[in-house]
Amino acid sequence: MSESSEESTDLGAIEAMIRAAGDHVVPSRDLRPRLIESVRRRRSSDRRRQLVTAVALPSVVFFAALTNRALDARDTLSEAAPRQRVARAMASYQAGSPESRIDRQFWGLADAFRHVQQQQAEAFSSQPISREDADSLDSDGIDAKNDRSERSE
């Protein structure tokens, strides 16, 4: 009993000693200005960021709207002038997309074929008919007549 009361008295004295030492450690003098400065700097950087956001966002929206209007205007113009569309199609044909290349080859072949046909036709019409050819044509005509008459008999 006396031992425990002695111990509690000791602990009480120790507690009192600890309590008295509570104010011994203090913040350094520069902590307050350091804190205020860091908060001020942070606030100003936040404000700057807000300002940038406030300016940049409407600018982006404005330029997006502007670009959109410009594209709309171009589309309207192209609808109003079909020649431009034809010119664009021609240009793309000349630029040579894979599909247009195939078309070009096909039409080139067709043109070549037509050209050869035309040449043959010209050559044929300009060449004089010889006597033998005329006779053979005639005899062919007589033979055909004979065949028909034989069949009727």
| Contact (CB, 8 A) for 11 and 18 | no
Query: And the tokens for 107?
Result: 């039409």
Our finding on whether 6 is near other proteins (CB under 8 A) is no
* Cα end-to-end span (Å), the chain: 163
If the CB atoms of residues 19 and 131 are measured against other proteins, the closer one turns out to be: 19
Our finding on whether 36 is near other proteins (CB under 8 A) is yes
Instruction: Read off the amino acid at residue 49.
Output: R
Considering only residues 1, 24, 127, 150, which one is a binding residue for other proteins as defined by CB under 8 A?
A: 24
Query: And the tokens for 120?
Result: 């043959």
CA 69 to chain CA centroid, Å, is: 19
Considering only residues 39, 51, 73, 110, which one is a binding residue for other proteins as defined by CB under 8 A?
A: 39
Our finding on whether 1 is near other proteins (CB under 8 A) is no
- 100 burial class (0-12, 13-18, 19+ CB within 10 angstroms)? middle
Smallest distance from other proteins to CB 33, Å: 10
Smallest distance from other proteins to CB 3, Å: 14
Q: What is the size of the binding site for other proteins (CB under 8 A)? A: 25
- Give the binding site for other proteins (CB under 8 A): 10-11, 13-15, 17-28, 31-32, 34-36, 38-39, 42
